């Protein structure tokens, strides 16, 4: 049967497949609806096709088979639609003014006479045109979102498909479904392939095989790889498409000629296959590093040893022979790598480099791939460090295979650039970095090659070290102060394949490492909760929100981050009459919650008030913060991030954050 009405509230929505439980109001009743509803918001008018079912626990519900979004039929519904947060700059109060002013003409005004919106106080002509554009884009975008869902393409990619293909997106996809492989990430290739076969595309069609090859290379990049051996790729594609190897080989040649892939012969005799952007990014990195390395060393300090002795006297720092050797390498090379585990003196070397070159009136710039890493670098050195995104003023690096490698970047004004935590830098970000460095600038890459590789494709630090083309020093001595830390000593022991220190071996060490071995999952959860709330107080003034982070290797299960976050929130930030909260897709966000941004948002506006006023845009995957305020009237959430920037999120943007009382070990490297 078919029913029509308005979506009142979303009770639950699965962030992966958009399975939704919501309340829905028709002219006759308010009811609960369940089913797959991508890209919908409270206030939307919908036509639903489905049937009534009775749930054993929740009673009668309407189960959706298909749905259609319709224009609001009443002024009340239209006001609610405009106020739901999908159109930038329109909150509940502005929506009411617009509907009160234009009444039944409101939709016509948005579509055809947007300049009239500027008649309302507080709306400029420029803002009016932007509102109209958002209104129309949101509507056209929705027309294809349900269609794309069948191919595994979520709402987050629908706008991109719309921007690339325009209003005729559905028709173009139906004519050539394989186009989706080129323009969207995470596609369900089997669904695309089935649709193509249904419309008559033959099994050995060139477009089909070329798309299968590119899809296979995209799949490889999800595991961090930038290329694959040609013969392995052929076998994978043969299994995927059920076609002959010779046909695949011919298509590989065609793609190579069209510069959509690159086939590179290795000295060992085998060939590697890259998607073209990945190959060009790697090639650019290699060429630029060699070019920077070979340029005249015009920043060299002539009497380095003498200056180091003076510096040691003045600062009471006693440098080890290996640290002095490292500083001599920095002085003699334009590009170099400093690597080593925790406690091996990397920070002391960085601080010494800063003092040496600033004493010669050289500009030293510090940076790191994430906000948390940049903040730690700032705290350790006393000198401001920026994220690479901020330093390079990158407007946007797309999160998919069409990732541009040719975007303009702002050249870095510096004599010496020190990049920390380089193991977290992927191939695309490194490509932008090396392009932004002037010849003659010293580039010092610092990191621990034993850490997890970057989340994105490539293993930059390890590969550069393995190439032996760039001067590298491995700091391996744990300093006396660091030796008192069982954390540092045990970290090195794990790398060396040794067990943790025994109680006898650890005698005289700091009490900073405890290995607790509970017997059951409930005991483990108890340990986590009690340590997070009270038990660590006798070892120091540890506040959970400032000093403690819970890590787990997995998201799922009783000891995964999802369950731990629920339990930790209950313990550390329980519900209160004094704290507002918002239910978003089944997750309760509460004022004072600890959260993490889980994907790059290059457009969100932020402000900093201290130490001096600053503003900008962009919050990136892995940045952590605290929910300061939930505003039910404007339907916004205020978040203060760890680097003191503050940003307002619309309720519709809450899918970009998740609780961060507990995070996965993989996510921890994004910090």
**Residue pLDDT, tens place only, 151-177:** 766 555 666 777 788 767 888 888 888
The confidence score (pLDDT) of residue 401 equals 40
- Please state, in angstroms and rounded to a whole number, the distance separating the CA atoms of residues 531 and 544: 9
The confidence score (pLDDT) of residue 81 equals 77
Angle made by CA atoms 147, 152, 153, in degrees to the nearest 5? 65
Helix (H) or strand (E) holding 34: strand 30-36
CA atoms within 13 A on the CB side of 645: 20
Joined tokens for residue 486? 């069982």
Total Cβ atoms within 10 A of residue 104: 9
Total Cβ atoms within 10 A of residue 164: 14
Average pLDDT value over all residues in the chain: 87
Please answer whether residues 282 and 226 qualify as being in contact, where contact means their C-beta atoms are separated by less than 8 angstroms.
yes
- Please state, in angstroms and rounded to a whole number, the distance separating the CA atoms of residues 8 and 373: 42
- Report residues of the chain scoring pLDDT below 70: 15-17, 55-58, 140-143, 145-146, 149-150, 152-159, 167, 185-186, 395-406, 480-483, 508-509, 602, 669-671
The confidence score (pLDDT) of residue 400 equals 41
Joined tokens for residue 262? 């690159």
Total Cβ atoms within 10 A of residue 64: 21
The confidence score (pLDDT) of residue 512 equals 81
The confidence score (pLDDT) of residue 478 equals 77
The confidence score (pLDDT) of residue 295 equals 97
């Amino acid at each position: 049967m078919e029913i029509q009405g308005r979506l009142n509230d979303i009770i639950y929505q699965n962030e992966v497949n958009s399975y939704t439980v919501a309340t829905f109001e028709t002219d006759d009743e308010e009811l609960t609806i369940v089913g797959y509803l991508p890209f919908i918001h409270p206030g939307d008018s919908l036509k639903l096709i489905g049937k009534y079912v009775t749930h054993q626990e929740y009673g009668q519900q309407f189960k959706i088979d298909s749905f259609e979004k319709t224009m609001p039929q009443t002024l009340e519904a239209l006001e609610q639609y405009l106020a739901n947060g999908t159109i930038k700059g329109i909150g509940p109060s502005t929506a009411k003014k617009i509907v009160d002013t234009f009444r039944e003409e409101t939709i016509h005004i948005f579509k055809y006479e947007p300049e009239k919106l500027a008649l309302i106080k507080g709306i400029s002509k420029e803002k009016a045109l932007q509102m109209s554009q958002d209104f129309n884009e949101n509507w056209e975008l929705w027309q294809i979102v349900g269609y794309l869902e069948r191919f595994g393409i979520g709402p987050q990619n629908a706008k991109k498909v719309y921007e690339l293909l325009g209003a005729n997106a559905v028709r173009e996809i139906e004519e050539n479904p394989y186009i989706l492989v080129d323009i969207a990430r995470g596609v369900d290739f089997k669904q695309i392939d089935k649709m193509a076969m249904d419309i008559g595309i033959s099994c050995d069609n060139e477009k089909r095989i070329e798309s299968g090859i590119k899809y296979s290379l995209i799949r490889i990049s999800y595991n961090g790889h930038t290329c694959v051996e040609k013969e392995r790729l052929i076998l994978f594609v043969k299994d995927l498409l059920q076609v002959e190897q010779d046909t695949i080989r011919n298509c590989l040649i065609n793609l190579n000629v069209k510069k959509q892939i690159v086939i590179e012969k290795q000295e060992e005799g085998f060939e590697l296959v890259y998607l073209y952007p990945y190959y060009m990014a790697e090639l650019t990195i290699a060429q630029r590093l060699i070019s920077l390395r070979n340029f005249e060393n015009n920043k060299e300090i002539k009497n380095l040893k003498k200056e180091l002795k003076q510096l040691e006297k003045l600062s009471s720092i006693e440098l080890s022979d290996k640290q002095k050797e490292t500083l001599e390498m920095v002085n003699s090379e334009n590009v170099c790598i400093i690597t080593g585990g925790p406690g091996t003196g990397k920070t002391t070397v960085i601080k010494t480099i800063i003092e040496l070159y600033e004493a010669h009136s050289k500009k030293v710039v510090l940076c790191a791939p994430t906000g948390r890493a940049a903040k730690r670098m700032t705290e350790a050195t006393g000198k401001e460090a920026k994220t690479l995104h901020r330093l390079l003023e990158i407007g946007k690096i797309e999160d998919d295979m069409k990732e541009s490698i040719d975007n303009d970047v702002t050249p870095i004004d510096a004599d010496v650039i020190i990049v920390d935590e380089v193991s977290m830098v992927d191939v695309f970000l490194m490509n932008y970095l090396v392009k932004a460095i002037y010849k003659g600038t010293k580039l010092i890459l610092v990191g621990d090659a034993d850490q997890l590789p970057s989340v994105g494709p490539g293993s930059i630090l390890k590969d550069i070290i393995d190439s032996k083309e760039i001067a590298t020093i491995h700091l391996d001595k744990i300093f006396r102060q660091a030796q008192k830390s069982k954390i540092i000593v045990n970290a090195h022991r794990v790398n060396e394949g040794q067990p943790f220190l025994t109680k006898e071996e650890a005698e005289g060490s700091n009490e900073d490492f405890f290995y607790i071995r509970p017997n059951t999952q409930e005991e483990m959860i108890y340990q986590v909760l009690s340590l997070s709330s009270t038990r660590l107080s006798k070892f120091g003034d540890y506040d959970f929100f400032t000093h403690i982070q819970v890590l787990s290797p997995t998201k799922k299960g009783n000891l995964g981050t999802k369950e731990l976050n629920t339990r930790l929130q209950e313990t550390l930030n329980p519900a209160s009459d004094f704290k507002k909260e918002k239910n978003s897709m089944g997750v309760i966000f509460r004022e004072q919650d600890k959260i993490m941004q889980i994907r790059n948002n290059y457009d969100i506006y932020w402000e900093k008030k201290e130490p001096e006023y600053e503003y900008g845009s962009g919050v990136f995957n892995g940045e952590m913060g605290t929910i300061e305020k939930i505003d039910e009237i404007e339907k916004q959430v205020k978040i203060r991030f760890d680097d003191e920037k503050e940003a307002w999120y619309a309720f519709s943007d809450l899918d970009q954050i998740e609780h961060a009382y507990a995070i996965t070990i993989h996510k921890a490297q994004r910090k």
